[in-house]
Amino acid sequence: MSHTTLSNVFDRPNSYIGRSLSRPGARRAVAGRGVYTDDIDFPRMVHAAFVRSPYAHAKILHIDTAAAKAMPGVVLVMNGAELAERCTGPWIGTLACFEGMKSAPQFAMAVDRACWQGEPVVMVVAASRAVAEDACERVVIDWEELPATTAAETALDENTPVIHPDLGDNLAFKKVIDKGDVDAAFEAADIVLEESFSFGRHTAVSLETRALISEYDPGTERLTIHTSSQVPHMIQAVFARTLGVPEHNVRIIAPDVGGSFGLKIHTFGDEIAAVAASIKLARPVKFIADRMESFFSDIHAREHLISARMAVSREGDIQALEIDDLAGVGAYSAYPRTSVFEANQVLNITGGPYKHKNYRATATVVYLNKVPTSQYRAVGHPIGISVAEHMVDRAAEATGLDPVEFRRRNVMPDDGYPAVIAAGLPVKDLSHEACLEKLVAMMEYDELKREQAALREQGVHRGIGIAGFIKGTAPGPLGYYGVGGAPIATQDACTIKLEPAGGVICMVGVSEQGQGVDTVMGQIAATALGVTFESIRVISGDTDSVPYGGGTYASRATAIGGEAVYQASRALRTEILTMAGILLQSEPSSLDIVDNNVVAADNGEVRIPLAEIGRIGHFQVGELPHDYQPVLSATRRFRVSELPYIFTNGIHGAYVEVDTDTGFIRLLKHWVVEDCGRVINPNLADEQVRGGCVQGLGGALYEHCIYDDAGQLQNATLADYLVPMPAEMPDIEVAHIQTPTTESELGAKGAGESGTGAAPGVVMGAVNNALRPFNAVVTTQPMTPEIVLQALGKV
């Protein structure tokens, strides 16, 4: 019998599912042998640098590039209007699925007018980056400064300047979700709690900045772009469409990617310009953003002001939740994913773990003269989770219940799926109750509370936080991009083939940024096929090699790409067994593949090695019947079919100490229980969670793009924009509940972002728990010492 059930495929002795294999790519990186885009050099390569707008909003009266052009080593100086002639036209960062959304046409470099400080205005291409920067200093631009709109609170006021007059106002998007009977629930409520929140802007700060080398061959009309990208096929479409090059002539290669976190899934004008320069010059052009221009040009995220109300019964049942979100995005909506996704996601997930039915959520998204915002790790989740969990803590306090007990009472039951959350989205295969109980045990919650109480007596103020979450992962085509009109695949694909010597090549549309995608895909393929991990070579990140896919975003690589690998591997296995059956004159169903051999399914006796199948299938096909031609290759695609997202769930715990004299917050310990479905590689999954948490902690405590009223970014260096460093970060304990998703056979859900989503909320909860005796409440992130001292009334 070969029709092994799925569970025993994963449980077979030679299964790689659930094993913490280390990454072959890591071995290369520790030797300094990683190859990132900036490590690549080509003959005749030249380097791009940009003159950027010094103003948040200003008219370009005149550009004088004569002195720059005259400098030795300069090969090209191009302004926005000249670039526009080489483009198919400005883009508009809207998606049809966001009804009523509007955005102004955006050129790759400013034409006539700059709308944020840092917007590229003139490109200089020269023999070296240093010479290009020297020449940038010789470009003279006459500016007429225009009034800048920089505050979301007043962006829609009548006397506030409208950034794009053709749009009529500064409103990008408005959306309301209204489910159940919110007004009646509030009227009838025993207790109504209200709070307002502020979330500062921050940005991705991938250690490797945005990077690109573009080469154009006029002979073949081939455009080859090495770029640090998460989404090779999407960016292929973006470069092709914006520059009028046929898509199939564009090859995108993502070499080693030095961190991305959502930053590297967007369109950036400077990159379009560098590619245009390579076409004009027919020479390779390299553009590596420096750190300061990264702060001015990478997408920002998370500038939100939220007011929230919660209705609770005396017994401690949530009766209704209402939130009003005002989000300040940049001067344009980012293309092609938009800048409104974040607010939309806040509406989707806020209060998602709980079983209340009355929910009203309003998003108002306004344009500001600041860097455009868009998707950054855990889009919207840090905001929605912080808000909901704070309200839950307040409700627990108001009803006299312990925060754990209150959550026990209100989370959706583990036996209640499929279900629909209050926001109206379908969820299934979740485990809030199991995760909560596991967390309480891990934290030794009661003991922790005793310690906290004892230390209070000594004037040490520690706080315990709990924050549950749902996380939208692995979006399906019913959600946004598919129907929205963007060239972003929600399906993903794998082509797997048996090579003549018995090795296996596995090509995947999802891409690797160090999280271990290639390793996980190899583990899945090896297991599904019945071969050793070492006999598989996984190829990703090259549009010339891999089947068309969406790439890596929205925690989709394992959930979607992994299932495609699983299905393709099973299909190849079937073909191998069919061919083996012909050669061995056996029923394919009596055969199996174990450790690179076709074996007898009943007793494991080796019948023929895969190397023989490969050799015969490629070189000795004459040994096979005339009417049988082996392909020894399979391609399978997978998409989430029934859901807008495969939602995951989990819960965090945090233990912090607040110095009430200095306002400093010390993170003592962090716990996570995560349900990302079937875990393929436990160590890699844990490290995704840990790394995600610390990114969330950065946003919660330190990271802030600080603007003044004129729209000038005040802290565009790593000395001034604070990121989490080792000494401030806690150890993070991670555990899993595994509820496989029923959307796929593999059962994996996304794991890459939830840490970032929940960590800010749990730490805010812990800080407020520490501050309780002082009647001080912190609802502003980042929670700087100043914010804490303000809450304490000390500054």
Partner 1 sequence: MNEETQIITLTVNGEQVSRLVAVRQHLVDFLRTELGLTGSHLGCEHGICGACSVRVDGDVLRGCLILAVQADGAEVETVEGLTESGEISDLQDNFVERGALQCGFCTPGMLITAAELLLQGTPKTRDEIREFLSGNFCRCTGYHAIIDAVETTLNQRLENSP
Residues 388-447 that bind partner 1 (CB under 8 A): none
Residue with tokens 């174990």: 594
39 binds partner 1 (CB under 8 A): yes
**Binds partner 1 (CB under 8 A): choice among 82, 119, 208, 657:** 208
Encoded tokens for 742: 């029923």
Q: Confirm or reject binding of residue 541 to partner 1 (CB under 8 A).
A: no
Cβ distance to partner 1 smaller for residue 21 or 594: 21
CA dihedral (201, 206, 209, 210) in degrees, to 10, reads -80
CB of 540: closest distance to partner 1 in angstroms? Answer: 14
- Binding to partner 1 (CB under 8 A): which residues in 322-361? none
| Among residues 717, 773, 775, 793, the one that binds partner 1 under rule CB under 8 A | 717
Q: According to the binding rule CB under 8 A, does residue 719 interact with partner 1?
A: yes
Point out which span in 8-16, 204-212, 339-347, 363-371 binds partner 1 (CB under 8 A).
Answer: 204-212
Report the nearest approach of partner 1 to the CB of residue 464 (Å).
20
Site for partner 1 in 498-517 (CB under 8 A): 513-516
Binding flag, residue 72, partner 1 (CB under 8 A)? yes
632, with CB counted inside 10 A (0-12, 13-18, 19+), is: buried
Q: Report if residue 726 touches partner 1, rule: CB under 8 A.
A: yes
User: What span, in angstroms and rounded, lies between the C-alpha atoms of 132 and 128?
Assistant: 6
Q: Name the segment binding partner 1 (CB under 8 A); options: 212-220, 270-278, 559-567, 720-728.
A: 720-728
- Six-digit token pair at 487? 């060239």
Amino acid found at 103: S
Is residue 43 near partner 1 by the rule CB under 8 A?
A: no
Helices and strands (H and E) in the chain: how many = 21, 31
Indicate if the alpha-carbon torsion angle 769, 771, 776, 782 is positive or negative: negative
Extract the tokens encoding 433: 């109750």
Is 718 one of the binding residues for partner 1 (CB under 8 A)?
yes
Q: Which is nearer to partner 1, 138 or 438 (CB)?
A: 138
Query: Is residue 52 within 8 Å of residue 563, measured between CB atoms?
Result: no
Across 540-644, the runs of DSSP E, i.e. the strands, are: 591-594, 597-600, 606-609, 633-638
Pairing outcome for strands 646-658 and 665-675: antiparallel
Q: Closer to partner 1 at the Cβ: 129 or 266?
A: 129
- Tell me if 249 sits within 8 A of 359, measured CB to CB: no
Q: How many CA atoms lie within 13 A of 503 on its CB side?
A: 8
The span of 52-60, 253-261, 367-375, 626-634 binding partner 1 (CB under 8 A) equals: 253-261
Site membership for partner 1, residue 599 (CB under 8 A): no
Residue closer to partner 1 (CB basis): 1 or 719: 719
Q: Which of 12, 174, 251, 291 binds partner 1 (CB under 8 A)?
A: 291
**Among 691, 747, 757, 782, which residue interacts with partner 1 (rule: CB under 8 A)?**
691
Is the Cβ of residue 33 or residue 450 nearer to partner 1 in the bound state? 33
Residue 124 beta carbon to partner 1: minimum distance, rounded to whole angstroms: 14
Judged by CB under 8 A, the chain residues 151 through 190 that form the site for partner 1 are: none
Specify the stretch interacting with partner 1 by CB under 8 A; choose among 181-189, 252-260, 341-349, 766-774: 252-260
- What are phi and psi for residue 711, nearest 5 degrees? 80, 25
Residues 614-643 binding partner 1 (CB under 8 A) are none
Q: Is 86 in the site for partner 1 (CB under 8 A)?
A: no
CA 207 to each of CA 141, 211, 213, 252, 289: distance values in angstroms, whole numbers, following the listed order:
32, 11, 18, 21, 11
CB of 692 to partner 1, least distance (A): 8
* 690 counts as binding partner 1 under rule CB under 8 A: yes
- Neighbouring C-beta atoms of residue 340, cutoff 10 Å: 26
How far is residue 598's CA from residue 67's CA, in Å, rounded to a whole number?
Answer: 72
Q: In angstroms, rounded to a whole number, what is the distance separating the alpha carbons of residues 566 and 550?
A: 17
694 is a site residue for partner 1 (CB under 8 A): yes
Tell me the C-alpha distance between 610 and 630, whole Å: 13
CB of 717 to partner 1, least distance (A): 6
**Whats the size of the chain, residue-wise?**
795
Among 149, 170, 206, 540, binds partner 1 (CB under 8 A): 206
Continuous segment of H or E residues that includes residue 495:
strand 492-498
Determine contact, residues 588/2, Cβ cutoff 8 Å.
yes
DSSP state of 15: -
Tell me which of 158, 415, 727, 793 binds partner 1, using CB under 8 A: 727
Give CB contacts under 8 A, 24+ apart, made by 706-712.
706/200, 707/150, 707/201, 707/370, 708/150, 709/148, 709/150, 709/151, 710/56, 710/148, 710/150, 711/55, 711/56, 711/57, 711/116, 711/117, 711/148, 711/150, 711/368, 711/369, 711/370, 712/56, 712/117
Q: Is residue 753 at the binding interface for partner 1, with CB under 8 A as the rule?
A: no
Comparison of 20 and 362: residue with beta carbon closer to partner 1: 20
CB of 30 to partner 1, least distance (A): 4
Of the candidate spans 26-34, 51-59, 561-569, 582-590, the one that interacts with partner 1 by CB under 8 A turns out to be 26-34
Output the smallest distance, CB 623 to partner 1, in A.
43
Shortest CB 407 distance to partner 1, Å: 25
35 binds partner 1 (CB under 8 A): yes
**Residue 256 binds partner 1 (CB under 8 A):** yes
Query: Site residues (CB under 8 A) for partner 1?
Result: 20, 22-23, 25-36, 38-39, 71-72, 130-131, 134, 205-209, 256-261, 290-291, 513-516, 683-684, 687, 690-695, 717-719, 723-727, 729, 731-732, 755
